[in-house]
Structures are given as C-alpha cells and as structure tokens.
Structure 1
Amino acid sequence: MALFDLPLGELRTYRSESREPEDFDAFWDKTLQQARAHELDARFEPVECGLSTIEVYDVTFAGFGGHPVKGWLRLPAGTTQPLPLVVEFLGYGGGRGLPHESLLWASTGRAHFLMDTRGQGSGWDRGWGGAGATADPVGAAPAYPGFMTRGVEAPENYYYRRVFTDAVRAVEAARSHPLTDASRTAVTGVSQGGGIAIAVGALVPGLVAIAPDVPFLCDFPRAVTLTDRPPYREIALFLKTHRGRSQEVRRTLSYFDAVHFAARGRAPALFSAALEDRTCPPSTVFAAFNAWAHEDKAIRVYDFNDHEGGGPFHEAEKVRWLRSQP
C-alpha cells in the first residue's frame, strides 16, 4: 500500500476535529469512583512453567463492576527488591496467552504486568497473542460483530468504558505487589493496547513513561471515514444498518477518543506511527501525539510500514528510551 494519508509535514501539525464532551472529566471521575467502590482483591498465584530466568504469577483482580479480570505478572527470577514496573495492554482480539510468552520486559530487569482484555482472546489472526481468560459479563444492545459497537448507543454502556476502567485497575493491582515499585510505573501497548495506554496515561497519576505503538482508538471522526479496514470499519457497517444514529454514536465515541485523553497526558511519551498503516491511519496517531500534553514527547515514524509498525525494531527503541527515563 502506497502512502494514502496526509504528507508527513502536515501530519506533524494535524489536529483532530473530534469534539470533547463538556462532562468528559466528570464522566471518568464517576466511572472510576464506582469501580473503586469494589475491593481490588488482587491475587497473585505462582505458576510453574519451566522457566529458569523468569518467575510468573497468575493474577486476578476486580475491574469494572467488580468483575474478575486476569493478567500475568512476570519478574526476573530471584527478585527480592521492588523493581520498576511496565504494565502492558493487548492489541484488538488478543488475549494474555500462556505464561511463558511475552518475556521481553521481565528480561530487562523490570516487573512486567500484562492485562487480559475482557471478552477478547480469540484473535490469533491479528498477531496479538493467544487465548484470553477474562469474560465480559455485561450485555449490550444490537451491535456489529466485534467489539467496537457493543453498547455504543450510550457512553455509560460502551464496551471500552469497561476496558479502560479495567486498565486503570490493572495498574493499581500491579502496583500493589510488594516486588513492584509503584513510583516507577510505565505503560505500553500496540494498536488497541496503545489506545488503552493513552487513556491510562490520563487517568492514572504518577506514571514515569508511556509508550503507545501505532495506537488504535484515536480521532474517531477521521478514522471511521478514512479507512475501510476493521476494526474501525465495524462502526461504519453498524451505521450502514442503523441509519440515522450517527450523531449519538459520535457522541458516545467522543468519551473514548484517545485525543481527549492525550490532552491530559501527564508523563513523558514515546509514540510510533507507520505511514502506510491503513488500520490505524497515521493522521489519527498524530492527532493523539500532537495533543499529548506533556512537553517531553517523541514519535518514531516508519515510512514504509503498515500496521506492523516498527515491530521488533521499535521494541528495541522502547527498551533504550525507557532506560533514559527516571
């Protein structure tokens, strides 16, 4: 796929036309207050998986609505003192997989917490990991297959309200372990995971760094009309059937647009974008990056890549960059 979006010079100054709801902060304050009415109840069960350099814990904590959410905590073997913490969120359709997967961050000497995404975990074709272990027990109105339109009739019912809340609680759960240093917490993720990380970057205080790669869930008004690839296409196909509901859908999505969370970003950030990315078009990524509020920010651009972005090359970039953070 050749370049299809704005030229790089225009991307660097592009601003989203997404309109922020007046009660955006109140909506999220109330949502998190309701979630914290439930005990976090974070439980860490050791897992024997044959690894000699990494210790793995099967984690369960209370997310949105007090619902049980799963994750993995990985630590370098023999850890006795609290370590810097990386909390990671998964791409669309992916699950936490098996305990011996995703060993990069623990191999750098950090604690690594990987959150399972409720209702997902059957997306091997997307390359975002293995099976999931977390149900989404909340029902919804009619929706297009996938997750993008579940509960989209109102922000209170929308699927990503539950996911973003789970993500905030995941950071709280990870920080509660005695071998993690809560004061040195970074968050990261690719695609959907990057969009979730941006939301967490606004909703969780005291983070030292955030690294969203080719993030999804950014600049909904442009994304839905610019690309015909899923998952954004799910929204267009829903509206193709549910004619006349565009305004209410746009209103719901505005509460979950990473652009508005980015305007509240409170930590140094390293973004990535790929100029041939038709899944998360580069202008939508730059919309979030350009809105990121913290002055210490950078973006790595991969000129000839699609949604794979920088792949392992960018993983190495993140490792180097995170070492430079306090």
Structure 2
Amino acid sequence: MPLLDKPLEQLRSYEGINPRPDDFDAYWERALTEMRNVSPDVELVPSAFQVPFAECFDLYFTGVRGARIHAKYIRPRAAAEPHPAVVQFHGYTMHSGDWQDKLGYAALGFSVFVMDCRGQGGRSEDTGGIKGNTHHGHIIRGLDDEPDLMLFRHIYLDSAELAGIAMRMPEVDPQRVAAMGGSQGGGLALACAALEPGIARVASTYPFLSDYRRVWEMDMAKDAYAELRTYFRLFDPLHKREEEVFTRLGYIDIQHLAPRICGEVLMGVGLMDAICPPSTQFAAFNKIKAPKQMDIYPDYGHEGLPGFPDRVLQFLSGI
C-alpha cells in the first residue's frame, strides 16, 4: 500500500518529537486549580427545538478568565436515573451543530452535552486579553504572551469543566460519563479525559492538536495546521525561536496529556490522513496507559471512517 507517513510497524512504537516543557505537570495543576476556583454559574434555557422523548436546553457556564461557554444539552425523559452521559466536541473552527444528530444517544438513555469552543463558530464567548498575535489560528494564539494565556489551555479547561458539570447533574451517573469527538473534537475528548479523570470511556477519531513539530518536519503545516507556517513567516522568519516556540506548544500538545487518562479509549485512525498525520495520532495513543484499542483504516484519510461511528456507539453503550 502507499505510504503517507511512517510504516505501520514504526507507528506502533512512535513516541513523538515535540518537546515537553519541564514544568508541564505544574502548568496543568495550576490551570486546574484556576478552573476549580471559578464558579460555573450554570444556566439552562429550554430550546425552541424539542422532541417527545427528550428535553433540549441551551446550557451556559462560566469558564476560566470569565468567558461564558455555550453547550447543547439533551436530557432523555424516560431514562432511568441516574443514567450515563456523553460529552461531545466538534471540529476546528466549527460549532456544536444541529440537534438531530445527537438524538440517537439520547434515545439510548444518555444525557448529551455538546460544547461550542470559545472563539470558534458557535455561541461561546472569547474574552481575549492577550498581547501580540491573534492572527487567525488558535494553536498559535498566546505564543507571544505568558503560557497561561494560550487559548487552547482555556479550551481544554472548558472541556473538563463541562464534563464536571455533567457529572454533577442529579440525573447523571458520575461513574458513567464518556467523551467523544473527531479531529479537534478527538483531541478535545482526549484532553477532557486527561484533565477530568472521572471520564470512564473516550472515543477519539483522528485527533488533532498532537506532536506539532512532527507536523512541521513532515512539511504538513497546512490546512488545519497552516497557522504554524503563518507564525514563523510573520513573527520568526529566521527561526531563531524555533525551539522556544515548539516547547511552548508542548503545553497544549495532547500527547503529553495522554498519560493522565484513566478511562478506556477507542481511537480511529486513517493511515492516509493528510490533515492530522497518522504519526501525530499514534504519538498520543502510544502514551495512553489506560486500556485502549485502535481501529486502523489503511486506505482512508481525514474523512468518514466506514463503520467507526457504529463502533463508537456500541463502545459507549457498554459504559
């Protein structure tokens, strides 16, 4: 078969090349302390969209730095209580989408929470407040300021906070909460499970936000990762700060968060993925210490993986 990345036998042992900052653990413990000190002030607003078997709400909560975050919340009417829940995350620059494609999980008796990432295509607030570059990309936002101001730090914390809100809902069994998503959503599902250890199962489809230096060295800083090239061209054209930049990005590299995951993980990967290179996905997967399994699609890229959504549903249904 043709190769876009390393041979499969090498991918299975690949550990990633993006630097891990020396204070990585302290960075995230400090971040979690900040998150826990914020009162979420959860607000539920009944949606105009309703179905007979579930209640649909717009859910709002306060994340770090004062941003009000929006999520869709679907609560099944006839499910046993407490019942399981799934927290879902969307692709880069997108939003939580329509209600109808989440109803299958509600029909199975899950409460469903779907977050709009701050500053992207949905209804969440982006409070901003950094110095320097805010050009287009969220990966590079905050690189010229303090590490605690990196935007994806805040988005990762939002994902963990939403999972915590789900676990505190009286109708939800906190021992049976799962996280899922594809691309950016796949990366956020892993980050969510790393920062909220109570997540019981994680379904991640071709996760984004991993092993940035590998993306750069493969000359694949385009499409979703184009802002890496943009940053160097505009702000470091001689690459004098290259080591510093990739080390800073290491704070928001999900491969370094992956060892913290406690719940069981299912990942789907296409070996012809030219958006999120397979090696970057294996870098995260190979660092997961919890029970894990991967479905590998040799001929598929960053696209629908046949049968994988059904696998995810059955995997999460066993929670």
Checking the alignment, whether the CA contact within 8 Å between 1:188 and 1:194 is kept in structure 2 is yes
Per-residue deviation, 1:98: 3.9
Find the aligned partners of 2:98 and 2:221 in 1 and give their Cα distance.
32
The answer to whether residue 155 in structure 2 is matched with residue 158 in structure 1 is no
Per-residue deviation, 1:54: 2.8
Corresponding position of 2:258: 262
The answer to whether residue 110 in structure 2 is matched with residue 114 in structure 1 is no
Per-residue deviation, 1:2: 5.0
Can you give the 5+ residue segments of structure 1 that lack an aligned partner in the other structure? Answer: 122-131
Per-residue deviation, 1:31: 1.2
Corresponding position of 1:298: 293
Matches within 5 A, 1:149-228: 149-153=140-144, 154-226=146-218, 227-228=220-221
TM-score (normalised: structure 2): 0.92
Per-residue deviation, 1:82: 2.0
Aligned length: 313
Corresponding position of 1:129: none
Matches within 5 A, 1:222-261: 222-226=214-218, 227-243=220-236, 244-261=240-257
Checking the alignment, whether the CA contact within 8 Å between 2:160 and 2:193 is kept in structure 1 is no
Corresponding position of 1:148: 139
Per-residue deviation, 1:236: 1.7
- Of the structure 1 ranges 112-121 and 8-17, higher mean CA displacement relative to structure 2 is found in 8-17
Find the aligned partners of 1:317 and 1:80 in 2 and give their Cα distance.
24
Checking the alignment, whether the CA contact within 8 Å between 2:65 and 2:127 is kept in structure 1 is no
Checking the alignment, whether the CA contact within 8 Å between 1:73 and 1:174 is kept in structure 2 is no
Deviation per CA, 1:197-220, whole angstroms, max 9, x where unpaired? 111221112221111110001111
Moved over 4 A (4+): none
Per-residue deviation, 1:50: 4.0
Find the aligned partners of 1:324 and 1:102 in 2 and give their Cα distance.
18
SS of residue matched to 1:238: helix
Per-residue deviation, 1:324: 3.5
Matches within 5 A, 1:300-319: 300-310=295-305, 313-319=307-313
- Of the structure 1 ranges 228-237 and 191-200, higher mean CA displacement relative to structure 2 is found in 228-237
Find the aligned partners of 2:201 and 2:155 in 1 and give their Cα distance.
21
Checking the alignment, whether the CA contact within 8 Å between 1:117 and 1:134 is kept in structure 2 is yes
Checking the alignment, whether the CA contact within 8 Å between 1:89 and 1:115 is kept in structure 2 is yes
Q: CA RMSD in A?
A: 1.8
Per-residue deviation, 1:303: 1.4
Aligned residues with identical type, % of pairs? 33
Find the aligned partners of 2:284 and 2:113 in 1 and give their Cα distance.
24
Find the aligned partners of 1:303 and 1:106 in 2 and give their Cα distance.
32
Deviation per CA, 1:186-240, whole angstroms, max 9, x where unpaired? 1111111111111122111222111111000111110233214322121122112
Letter in 1 for 2:315: W
